[in-house]
């Protein structure tokens, strides 16, 4: 019920009551904000739309999930991944799932821990198998200060290796060979597979990864090895792609 108090010219006070359903205003109200005024409800709706638009500019998929993996919100990139069944899908109950059962089980475990605030670290990383033998790097974190939700971020497996290599070489001072190897690892290749693809011996690739981790020295990245490197490079590639997209718009 919306209530408005007005004072008439003759000095009388009047109260106007309107039911949102009958007035066509239900879209501005939810059970979470039943006592807010109309202007505050509109302000919150506009703020939420601005946040959603910002998320849609990013090249990596983002979804807010409940403890049972039910989707509360997803950005455009996540919607695209799901629509292509590129490693992810939405089951009949509206839950974010993976194409492979063991990947879904691990995702479910991390989402449950994150939504309850029980992750051992601010974020947890895993991988989900995608098309053509590639893997998506998936990061799961707690959804804000309150319990009950988790944020899942999926860095797309299909990166522009050349563009990411340029960024790593230019901005992070890796050699061209190291930058190319790191970019391929971020694109879902294992260390040995990336080395083989580039015509290098596995031992050479492993030694280069050690040098890459030392040079990057980003937080605790060096302690996370190849998995940490893959996640970091994939996220870097996704952010770089988003920056180029926004720059052209």
Fold entry, domain 59-155 = Beta-Lactamase (3.30.450)
Enumerate residues 6+ apart whose C-beta is below 8 A from 190: 226
Q: How many residues does the chain have?
A: 249
Is 248 a residue whose pLDDT tops 50?
Answer: no
Q: Which residues contact 3 (CB under 8 A, 6 or more apart)?
A: 15, 16, 17
- In the chain, where does the domain assigned CATH 1.10.10.10 lie? 161-239
Flag whether pLDDT at 158 surpasses 70.
no
Percentage of the chain modeled with pLDDT above 70: 63
212-241 per-position pLDDT tens digit: 888 887 655 555 667 777 777 876 776 665
Angle at 134 between CA 130 and CA 137, to 5 degrees: 75
CATH 3.30.450.20 in the chain, residue ranges: 59-155
| pLDDT per position as a tens digit, 185-207 | 877 788 888 889 899 998 999 99
| Beta carbons within 10 angstroms of residue 84's beta carbon | 12
Select from 153, 193, 162 the least CA-distant residue to 180.
162
Q: Which CATH class is domain 161-239?
A: mainly alpha
Q: pTM value?
A: 0.54
Structure confidence by residue, pLDDT tens digits, 48-77: 667 666 666 666 788 999 999 999 988 888
What six digits make up the tokens of 11? Answer: 């000095």
């Amino acid at each position: 019920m919306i209530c408005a108090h007005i004072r008439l010219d003759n000095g009388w006070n009047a109260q106007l009551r309107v039911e949102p359903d009958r007035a066509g205003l239900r879209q501005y109200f939810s059970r979470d904000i039943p006592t807010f005024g109309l202007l505050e409800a509109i302000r919150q709706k506009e703020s939420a739309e601005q946040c959603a638009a910002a998320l849609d500019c990013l090249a990596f998929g983002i979804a807010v999930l409940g403890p049972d993996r039910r989707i509360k919100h997803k950005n455009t990139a996540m919607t695209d991944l799901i629509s292509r069944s590129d490693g992810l899908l939405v089951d009949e109950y509206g839950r974010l799932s993976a194409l492979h059962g063991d990947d879904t089980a691990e995702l479910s475990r991390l989402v449950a821990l994150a939504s309850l605030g029980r992750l051992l670290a601010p974020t947890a990383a895993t991988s989900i198998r995608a098309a053509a033998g590639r893997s998506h790097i998936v990061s799961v974190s707690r959804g804000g200060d309150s319990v009950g939700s988790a944020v899942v971020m999926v860095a797309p497996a299909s990166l522009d290796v050349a563009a990411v290599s340029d960024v790593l070489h230019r901005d992070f001072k890796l050699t061209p060979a190291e930058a190319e190897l790191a970019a391929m690892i971020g694109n879902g290749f294992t260390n040995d597979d990336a080395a083989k693809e580039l015509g290098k011996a596995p031992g050479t690739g492993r030694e280069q990864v050690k040098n890459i981790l030392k040079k990057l020295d980003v937080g605790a990245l060096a302690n996370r090895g190849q998995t940490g490197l893959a996640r970091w490079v994939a996220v870097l590639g996704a952010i770089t792609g988003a920056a180029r997209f926004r720059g052209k718009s």
